[in-house]
Amino acid sequence: GLKANAARERQAALEAKRNADKVRAGVAKKEEYKKASEIFKKADSSYVTANIEGAFNGYKTAKETYSALYEEIKEIYLQTERYEHRF
């Protein structure tokens, strides 16, 4: 049901956060990262208070934000690496 989906979405959000941490998103995009972390914490609170739909939506939003940060920063690293290898 929805509770199981929320739990899966939480795991997916944690995985997305780990990826974002690999590219130091908390440093490179501090405000966006902080916002995603606050959404995640709020989703945890929603889950604990049995607002499962709110938790699911929060985890999903956090996952999407962390994933977008990861992709954006990874692309910057790749472009920088390509540029540096030209010389």
User: pLDDT for 11-61, tens place per residue?
Assistant: 999 999 999 999 999 999 999 999 999 999 999 999 999 999 999 999 999
Alpha helices for 1-87 (secondary structure H): 2-22, 25-28, 30-48, 52-84
User: If DSSP codes are grouped into helix, strand and coil, which group holds residue 70?
Assistant: helix
Smallest CA-to-CA distance from 43 within 35, 33, 53 is with: 53
Q: What tens digit of pLDDT does each residue of 41-50 get?
A: 999 999 999 9
**Using CA atoms, how far apart are residues 54 and 64, in angstroms rounded to an integer?**
15
- Give pTM, 2 decimals: 0.89
10 contacts 59 by C-beta, under 8 angstroms: yes
